[in-house]
Amino acid sequence: MRSIVRWVVSRLRRYRPDRNPLRRRSDRVEAALAAAALAAVLIAAWPAALAARTVYDDGVAAERVGPGTRQLVEATLVEATSIGDTSAVPANGRGLPAAIPARWTLPSGEVRAGVVPAALLLRDGPADARLWVDAAGRPAAPPPQRAETVTRAGLAAAGVVASAAVLAWACFALARHRLDRRRYREWEAAWAAADQRWRRPRI
């Protein structure tokens, strides 16, 4: 922790505006670029909040259940041969079926049958289960929980801020690289001039 604090303090001392006569124009440009990069990351908090709000609202809408969205219906697990091809029930490598033939009844009274992914079935017994269906009566994933919605919103906000930070750092690193090359050329020219000035004349 102390090392991090020392690093932050050293950065602040390096880029703080002052009237140090040893500070070159390129140093002031680099300090301005560092401030601009930090400002870009801070400004990214606004689009991050918008992204989080959008994802959260979509998640809350997906949580709703009802006739126009998803409904939980009773399902009966049946033999594969009673509804069609048994090859539609592959194994998942652990001896358990990845999809199970089932028959379910919609709230309207219509009976549907098909091969349902085992992960979508809430087993209540050897042959009884519950199943989420969409507005068209097809098997659907269960609605997300509020914790999942909040997590997705947080990840969306973090993703926006992280993207802005990476972009700002990349631009700053590229600009600093060019400034360093310019400083190296200035140093070489200054040392060459000093060498000419300090060199003793030969007799």
- Number of domains comprising the chain: 2
Given this model, what pLDDT does residue 5 score?
57
Residues 29 and 72 both lie in one domain: no
Residues 55 and 69 both lie in one domain: no
3-state SS, residue 143: coil
35-48 exposure pattern, b = at least 16 Cβ within 10 A, e = fewer? eebeebbeebeeeb
**Is the CB of residue 72 less than 8 Å from the CB of residue 105?**
no
Residues 54 and 77 both lie in one domain: no
Q: Look at residue 11 and tell me if it is in a domain.
A: no
Q: Look at residue 182 and tell me if it is in a domain.
A: yes
Digit-coded pLDDT (tens) for 141-152 = 888 888 999 999
Q: Look at residue 79 and tell me if it is in a domain.
A: yes
Domain that residue 121 falls in: 65-133
Q: Look at residue 91 and tell me if it is in a domain.
A: yes
Residues 156 and 184 both lie in one domain: yes
CA-based end-to-end distance of the chain:
61
Given this model, what pLDDT does residue 91 score?
47
Q: Phi first, then psi: give them for residue 128, nearest 5 degrees.
A: -115, 145
Residues 71 and 120 both lie in one domain: yes
Given this model, what pLDDT does residue 67 score?
63
The pair of structure tokens assigned to 48 is: 């991050």
Q: Residue type at 69?
A: T
pLDDT along the chain (203 residues), means of 10: 63 63 71 86 94 92 75 81 48 60 87 87 82 86 88 95 94 88 80 76 55
Q: Look at residue 75 and tell me if it is in a domain.
A: yes
Q: Look at residue 141 and tell me if it is in a domain.
A: no
Q: Look at residue 33 and tell me if it is in a domain.
A: yes
Residues 54 and 109 both lie in one domain: no
Residues 54 and 150 both lie in one domain: yes
